[in-house]
Amino acid sequence: MRQNTKTYDLPTIFRLFFFSLLGIGILSCDARRDNPSDPSSPFYVKPRTIIIHVLHQSPSAEPIANVVVREENLQFSGITDQNGTLSWEYPSADSLVLISEKKGFFSDTTVIYAPQKNTGITIHLDAMPQISALKFTSYFENKYDLASTSIYVQIHDEDGQEDIRHVLLSCPQFSFTDTLKAEIGEKYVGKARLDSISPHLRPAQLPELNFYLIVQDQENQQVKTGPLTIRRVITEDLQLQSPANGATLTDSVYFSWNPVQLDFHFTYNLSLLRQQDYQQIDYKNIAEDQDHFIVKNLDGGYYLWHLEIEDELGNICQSVVYLFNFSQ
């Protein structure tokens, strides 16, 4: 007797299996809704709300607008309004890591553990000190064959000048750090001798060094500017002529010196210091083709005088110092 045998290909077998599952209800469209984001699910979790206030760290504690606040784990990002406020609904979370950023401020990271259903938080941003009018030059003294760096800078801090803790000049190559002196207002100045950086350095090597300006605030945050370099060291040997060292004069004072020829533009500065009362008198921007300068109507007394060469960058070379007596 002949037996009939049916054979099925693989796709047909899968189709039969699929319809069998439908028949017994395993693949049913009436499965439970377990999605916690679906309000109709018995497992639904209502979103929580957090209200974020971002303020200046300064005593005024003014609100800061346009601060970007991020929570990367929950893929959230928002921007504070004019009142420094941001409201956000988020799913249940064991903790929140809020990163707040705005140009001109140090970034802040705030962690909230076990946030409540409705949470309010205040974040204080630390303003970055703003640097302007930076002038970094060299100063060479003929008498000692010694070069120094000279730095002048203005620094403004929106949190108040009292928030500035230290202003430093650093040369990492020689592990050198010097603290700048605060002057009236927002001005800071400093002068560092080359031999204090390293006793083995020569003036000609100063332009090879890299320096950095570091401003630290009371929160131990810092702004680092650099590298700063010295463009030129003027080591010209300035020769003074008159008045000679120790001279006594009774009329107008005729200052003279040997003319100097350099391959860059410069001017002369003439400086007098009256010893009795430490009154300083400066005559600046004397043309480079001059080799003398006349001063009339000086008060009587002993004076120290010296001459300087100053280039267009502000680098200075100073002569030796002479003393004269002016008698009326």
User: What's phi and psi for 287, nearest 5 deg?
Assistant: -60, 150
pLDDT band for 34, please (50, 70, 90 cuts): low
Q: What is the mean predicted confidence (pLDDT) over 306-316?
A: 97
Q: What is the mean predicted confidence (pLDDT) over 282-298?
A: 95
Helix runs in the chain, H state only: 10-24, 194-197
Tens digits of per-residue pLDDT, 124-147? 999 999 999 999 999 999 999 999
- The per-residue pLDDT for 33 is 53
C-alpha pair distances (Å), 11 with each of 28, 80, 268 = 22, 58, 98
- The per-residue pLDDT for 172 is 96
Nearest to 122 by CA among 160, 84, 66, 93: 84
- Pick from 1-5, 71-75, 301-305: least confident: 1-5
Report cis status (omega within 30 of 0) of the bond before 243. yes
- Tell me the sheet residues that pair with 311: 266
- The per-residue pLDDT for 44 is 53
Contacts 24+ apart (CB under 8 A), 240-243: 240/306, 240/307, 240/319, 240/320, 240/322, 243/305, 243/322, 243/324
- The per-residue pLDDT for 8 is 44
CA 112 to CA 96: how far, in whole Å?
5
CA 62 to CA 326: how far, in whole Å?
60
Tokens of 18: 């699929």
pLDDT band for 113, please (50, 70, 90 cuts): confident
Q: What is the mean predicted confidence (pLDDT) over 106-112?
A: 93
Tens digits of per-residue pLDDT, 174-203? 999 999 999 988 999 999 999 999 999 999
Burial category of 105 from C-beta neighbours within 10 Å (exposed 0-12, middle 13-18, buried 19 and up): buried
CA 168 to CA 269: how far, in whole Å?
29
- Pick from 17-21, 44-48, 143-147: least confident: 17-21
- Pick from 8-12, 93-97, 248-252: least confident: 8-12
Q: What is the mean predicted confidence (pLDDT) over 214-235?
A: 95
* pTM of the complete model: 0.76
Q: Which residue has the tokens 């083709």?
A: 289
CA 98 to CA 257: how far, in whole Å?
68
User: Where do the domains of the chain lie, and which CATH numbers do they carry?
Assistant: 48-125 (2.60.40.1120), 130-228 (2.60.40), 240-326 (2.60.40.1220)
Q: What is the mean predicted confidence (pLDDT) over 228-243?
A: 96
Nearest to 328 by CA among 303, 289, 301, 306: 301
Q: Is the dihedral of CA 17, 20, 24, 26 positive or negative?
A: positive
What end-to-end distance do the CA atoms of the chain give, in Å? 152
Residues 303-321 as b/e (b if ≥16 CB within 10 A, e otherwise) read bebbbbbbbebebbbbbeb
- The per-residue pLDDT for 224 is 96
Contact assessment for residue 270 and residue 255, using Cβ atoms and an 8 Å cutoff: yes
Length of the chain: 328
Nearest to 288 by CA among 271, 306, 264: 264
Tokens of 100: 């707040």
Neighbours of 47 (CB within 10 A): 11
Residue 132 amino acid letter = S
> Which value, in Å, is the radius of gyration of the alpha carbons in the chain?
38
CB contact set of 172 (below 8 Å; sequence gap of 6+): 210, 212
- The per-residue pLDDT for 48 is 81
Residue 40 amino acid letter = S
Across all residues in the chain, what is the average pLDDT? Answer: 87
- The per-residue pLDDT for 4 is 41
Q: What is the mean predicted confidence (pLDDT) over 17-36?
A: 49
CA 259 to CA 199: how far, in whole Å?
32
Indicate whether 46 pLDDT > 90: no
Q: What percent of the chain has pLDDT over 90?
A: 70
